[in-house]
Amino acid sequence: MPVTTCIFDAYGTLFDVAAAARAAAREPDRARLAACWQALAEDWRIKQLSYSWLRAVSGDHADFWTVTQDALDWALERHGLDGDAALRDRLLALYRELEAYPEVPAMLRALKDRRLTTAILSNGAPGMLADAVASAGIGDVLDDCLSVESVGIFKPARAVYDLVGHRFGTAPDQVLFVSSNGWDAAAATAYGFTALWVNRKGEPLDRLPGRPAHILPDLSGVPALELF
């Protein structure tokens, strides 16, 4: 069956997760952050994902905003910045307004011009997603934002991928699933979606069941895929 529905992961795929630390590091009186912002952003992201997986395995669910704050607290302590409450508040505020990657608005518009359904499927809590979409100005080119909060477990649990069919009435082979997370693209492939891995960093494929059908360095080439 032809692909009718394009589903996007949010954080790291549509939205640049390093943008909050980068923006804060450019502000006045942030010399300590400026010296380590890239490492802090990487640690923040790694812990954010790790905590989501550990909570999924243990059954101890908390929403992604809680996980994001916990991960930031760990990263700030690692870099000796845990005593700076104003910095913590600023980073969290910026995370609610993450920049979209430059190619995102035009890419989504091109898909909508082809009358395809477009949506987000994310670990993000609904409020986080609403803020990011509004800040990026892409709400008019998305049909929905699906959050794992409706099932109470993080990706890559199959119940999360089930949300797409429940919402749009699609069979898995009608869905193109797009993620910058190799593990997410692998899980989506194993689920039955046609998956595209946005490999922005040129990393090796994850050694997991399910290999994505497509790999691109960014999202600009999505509308040109011969799937629609």
Catalytic residues: 9
Phi, psi of 138 (to 5 degrees): -115, 10
Question: 140, 207, 159, 154: which is closest to 48 by C-alpha?
Answer: 154
Going by C-beta distance under 8 Å and a sequence separation of 6 or more, which residues neighbour residue 113?
none
Cα–Cα separations (whole angstroms), residue 156 to 12, 25, 123: 16, 32, 9
Tokens 């104003």, residue located: 86
Question: 1, 9, 41, 4: which is closest to 197 by C-alpha?
Answer: 9
**Is the separation of the CB atoms in 215 and 200 below 8 Å?**
no
**Is the separation of the CB atoms in 194 and 1 below 8 Å?**
no
Cis peptide before 156 (omega within 30 of 0): yes
